[in-house]
Structure 1
Amino acid sequence: MSVDKFNLLSFTGKMKTLHLSWMAFFITFMVWFNMAPLKGAIVDGVGLTLSEWKTLLIINVALTIPARVIIGALTDKFGPRLVYSSLLAICSIPCFAFALADSFTQLVIARFALGCIGAGFVVGIRMVSEWFPPKELGTAEGVYGGWGNFGSAAAAFTLPTLALLFGGEDGWRYAVAITGLMSLLFSVVYYKNTNDTPKGSTYFRPKNLGGLEVTSVKDFYFLLIMKTPMYLALALLNWKLSPQGVSLLSETVALVMYLGLALLYVYDCYATYKVNKDIFVNPVPEAHRYEFKQVAVLNILYFATFGSELAVVSMLPAFFAETFELSMATAGMLAGMYAFMNLMSRPGGGWLSDKFGRKKTLLILTAGLALGYWCLSLIDAAWPIWLAVVAVMACSFFVQSGEGAVFAAVPLIKRRLTGQIAGMTGAYGNVGAVVYLTVYSLVDTSTFFLVIACTAVLGFVTLLFMQEPKGTMTEVREDGSVELIEVT
């Protein structure tokens, strides 16, 4: 751990690593969300129908669910420096391909591949956890997540202007290509200016790459249960693309995809067993155990927090426009206040966790989350607009502070598995978005907000079973010696 003072104005030591990591995350989110602000130009330029556009929005998040799990495992094995740099460089290719596409099929292929860049977030979680002590970890992870997450808002603010500056029907292509160029160039910057750990520290790696390690037979079966929603979310996306949805896939292809997902789940379970088969014969020593329920609780909370954020950001402009009869430009600006809160709320949630404890902070923020969405369910045309905006911003504070508090706890479970745990928790955020957006397509807006509030209540109940991280976690160096890592 680097012991120099936590100073956001510094650009040396651990602070340099933090700043470079949130910048990398910022760029990944700019690239991931570079399509939505340019909707009109892309639809007109390529000649898309509304159905085709909605399909692109679905495709944009499809691969992120498995990608976060896979990238998390690769991060633990090969280190965040190499994985983040590689991800930035490789994903610039489909970004350039999207900018050059002149048909719906080409756009779909490029966008599907670009879903991988949404997994960049989990890489930085492991990187930051290596550089900051427990008393600063929540704040550092909050800054990383909050400032990096603002890349989506930055894309919305800047890319339409860039497209106009370039002008012509290809202006949007240049704007998209610039984000790809940023990603490619910063991959070099990140690789040359970061290290996986401070000098003299050990980077602990998992024993196997095939699946998440657990430390008891009970936790093995619990892990298999918690994997199921991720596959169901992918099946739901497949249904949306089938003839029952937007008809991008034929009935035969959709059935093949369902079968493929089922087989993949079976293989995943088998691979997880291969990694963990020793626990069925030899119990893991107490010092090396961790409780998988800690991971499960954080998964559920991120489902409710980040999942709802992605869903609400997608529908809020239209909600304001329809409820208060506003222009889309005005509605978009007001709705943007929800995402703008990320700059302070997510670091704030991490700081509160450092100051008052992980579990207590999460309990308070999750209760506020449930109350906030219940308030949003009451908004109608009779409300003053200013009051509706205040309610949205207050709810957003609890949502994004909750995200910060979740990832203040993730690195304190098992150091060598931090990338995989962060990957699974991050994937649950995307699962939440898929579920909530599906609910939104089936019910009215008030019921949509109430459903989110109910899942927050469920998260609050599961939180009661979480244990406050304390004491030390035990890791074994490559030479066989043991290191005790403080978590409080």
Structure 2
Amino acid sequence: MKNERFNIFSFSGKMKTLHLSWIAFFITFMVWFNFAPMLQSIAATLNLTKDEVKTLLILNVTLTIPARILIGMLTDKYGPRLMYSGLLAICAIPCFMFALAENFQQAAITRFLLGFIGAGFVIGIRLVSEWFDEDELGIAEGIYGGWGNFGSAAAAFSLPALTLLFDENGWRYAIGLTGIICLSYSVIFYQSIRDTPQGKEYEKSKVSGALEVTSKSDFFLLLLMKIPLYGALALLVWKLSPAGVNMFNPSISYTLYLSLIAIYALDCFQAWRVNRHIFQKPVPHCHRYQFKQVAVLNVLYFATFGSELAVVSMLPLFFLEVFELSPAAAGLVASSYAFMNLMSRPGGGWLSDKFGRKPVLLILTAGLTMGYLLMGLMNSQWSVGLAIIVAMTCSFFVQSGEGAVFAAVPLIKKRLTGQIAGMTGAYGNVGAVCYLVLLSFVDYSSFFLIIALTAAIGFIFLLFMDNLEGKTAEESATETTTDLIDVT
């Protein structure tokens, strides 16, 4: 890997892996958000209320929370090639089901199931980290995430136009087409990818069932950081209960609440089972990592990717209602926010490679705070052009921040990268669920200002993060050697 030049125009070796990976991620995002730019047409066909439409937005991002945790563990155990191709193939099924939905209940169930495809991001993070050295990892992960995220923008400006070729059910054909693409690429990916370069061993997680930590204090911090993951799922149950859209009756709602408590207790037990040895014998210093680093990145991804998911979901409606644009025009204008992914996320990774992880994150987090403050001031008195400029500027800092976060994630503990990426990625979805539920109760201006506030909180948390520099230990799969790798 060290002898191979980083050439974005190459399609061999590590660059082939990078390109095939971001294309896979691009397709997952296109499928994941294929309905957002056509919500008005879907709502008219299925006779959905405004509250039901917002519920679909929440459902679309909720299952990704546990899915990213699970897929992260499975990726560390079975490898990215099998997991990514399998995920693409399986998630094509609920995509087809949503295209055939006839009422809110069917649409809600299939949108919830489609949230599983959002876990694909975690797989690529581990795959790319296997093929690129530390001095190129930030920009490589940024290209993977940024160009892949552009799938939502591609859906926003292409699918509404495609529906015009058909009748009022044109959205069904458009969504069905994304499912066909997803299914087809699963075969291409499986046939074209290797988990690691020739001669390199894939480092698997030693144990499964929970994330490993290396100190007593980190164990209790891990249990604390799990609570928001279940809290977001409880928030969804509340939204579907009689207090929300009344999809669940009180008995089902209370049963689900109790189930979440029981699953959290089981999760804590699994964490104890995996990590109880740290209470009996301290982990050698050279094999330790600080879970505090993971916790800080979780909070930052809550504010960055969480806000991106929420804003990408609601921005077409925002421009349609506030600026009274047509659905096709609103989708095209809204895609400007996601369009920035092409350069911003790779840029955030590149800046982290050049100037260090923490300093870059501090600057970008401050920038996205100011960006959302400006978006909170947007109203119908603004010109559409100015609104687009502000949205794109805010998007630059948001997505560069995402790139900087995942320039740091693979450097914490290599063989746990899938699980760490899974937890950090899941926090992005926790943020999306929280923001979209809040959108049910506040106006657009307040929505953007609340995101700005949480970004400012993320900035404060970032002050407690240590610089990722020096050396970190990585055990080989046979546990007979320990390699020191640069993480500057």
- Superposition TM-score, scaled by structure 1 size: 0.95
C-alpha distance 55-382 of structure 1, shift in aligned 2 (>3 A): closer
C-alpha distance 180-383 of structure 1, shift in aligned 2 (>3 A): closer
C-alpha distance 392-218 of structure 1, shift in aligned 2 (>3 A): same
CA distance in structure 2 between the partners assigned to 1:93 and 1:390 by the alignment: 38
Q: Which amino acid is 1:4 matched to? A: E
Q: Which amino acid is 1:368 matched to? A: G
Q: What is aligned with 1:425?
A: 424
Q: What is aligned with 1:213?
A: 212
Shift of 1:319: 3.6
Q: Which amino acid is 1:154 matched to? A: A
Asked if 1:354 is matched to 2:325, the reply is no
C-alpha distance 96-2 of structure 1, shift in aligned 2 (>3 A): farther
Shift of 1:51: 4.1
Q: What is aligned with 2:332?
A: 333
Query: Residue 164 of structure 2: SS of its match in structure 1?
Result: helix
Shift of 1:332: 3.7
User: Aligned pairs, how many?
Assistant: 487
Q: What is aligned with 1:253?
A: 252
**What is the correspondence of 1:383-394 to structure 2 with a 5 Å cutoff?**
383-394=382-393
Give deviations 1:222-258, integer Å, cap 9, x for gaps: 0000110111111011111110001111111011110
Is 381-390 or 214-223 further displaced after alignment?
381-390
CA distance in structure 1 between the partners assigned to 2:388 and 2:163 by the alignment: 29
* Contact preservation (8 Å) 2:157, 2:332: no
Is 101-110 or 88-97 further displaced after alignment?
101-110
Question: Which structure 2 residue ranges, 5 or more long, are not aligned?
Answer: none
CA distance in structure 1 between the partners assigned to 2:155 and 2:335 by the alignment: 12
Is 126-135 or 2-11 further displaced after alignment?
2-11
Q: What is aligned with 1:109?
A: 109
**What is the correspondence of 1:140-289 to structure 2 with a 5 Å cutoff?**
140-165=140-165, 167-289=166-288
Is 152-161 or 355-364 further displaced after alignment?
152-161
C-alpha distance 385-55 of structure 1, shift in aligned 2 (>3 A): closer
**What is the correspondence of 1:388-427 to structure 2 with a 5 Å cutoff?**
388-427=387-426
CA distance in structure 2 between the partners assigned to 1:422 and 1:203 by the alignment: 17
Q: Which amino acid is 1:174 matched to? A: Y
Is 34-43 or 266-275 further displaced after alignment?
34-43
Query: Residue 467 of structure 1: SS of its match in structure 2?
Result: coil
**What is the correspondence of 1:30-45 to structure 2 with a 5 Å cutoff?**
30-45=30-45
* Contact preservation (8 Å) 2:36, 2:313: no
Shift of 1:103: 4.0
Give deviations 1:251-302, integer Å, cap 9, x for gaps: 1101111000010100000001100010000100001000001001100100
Is 432-441 or 395-404 further displaced after alignment?
432-441
CA distance in structure 1 between the partners assigned to 2:52 and 2:105 by the alignment: 10
C-alpha distance 108-379 of structure 1, shift in aligned 2 (>3 A): closer
* Contact preservation (8 Å) 1:346, 1:401: yes
**What is the correspondence of 1:127-146 to structure 2 with a 5 Å cutoff?**
127-146=127-146
Is 206-215 or 437-446 further displaced after alignment?
437-446
Is 33-42 or 1-10 further displaced after alignment?
33-42
C-alpha distance 18-106 of structure 1, shift in aligned 2 (>3 A): same
Shift of 1:322: 4.6
Shift of 1:40: 4.1
CA distance in structure 1 between the partners assigned to 2:392 and 2:355 by the alignment: 23
* Contact preservation (8 Å) 2:51, 2:440: no
CA distance in structure 1 between the partners assigned to 2:83 and 2:363 by the alignment: 35
Give deviations 1:342-396, integer Å, cap 9, x for gaps: 1111111111111111111001101111122222223344444433332222111
* Contact preservation (8 Å) 2:62, 2:430: no
Shift of 1:435: 1.4
Shift of 1:464: 1.4
CA distance in structure 2 between the partners assigned to 1:466 and 1:444 by the alignment: 34
CA distance in structure 2 between the partners assigned to 1:472 and 1:442 by the alignment: 48
CA distance in structure 1 between the partners assigned to 2:444 and 2:103 by the alignment: 34
Shift of 1:331: 4.0
Question: What is the root-mean-square deviation of aligned Cα atoms in Å?
Answer: 1.9
CA distance in structure 1 between the partners assigned to 2:382 and 2:59 by the alignment: 36
Give deviations 1:135-159, integer Å, cap 9, x for gaps: 1111011110111011111112222
Query: Residue 150 of structure 1: SS of its match in structure 2?
Result: helix
Is 366-375 or 224-233 further displaced after alignment?
366-375
- Superposition TM-score, scaled by structure 2 size: 0.95
CA distance in structure 2 between the partners assigned to 1:130 and 1:36 by the alignment: 34
Shift of 1:440: 2.5
Q: What is aligned with 1:484?
A: 484
* Contact preservation (8 Å) 2:134, 2:487: yes
CA distance in structure 2 between the partners assigned to 1:239 and 1:392 by the alignment: 31
* Contact preservation (8 Å) 1:2, 1:13: no
Question: Which structure 1 residue ranges, 5 or more long, are not aligned?
Answer: none
Shift of 1:312: 2.1
* Contact preservation (8 Å) 1:299, 1:428: yes
Query: Residue 307 of structure 1: SS of its match in structure 2?
Result: helix
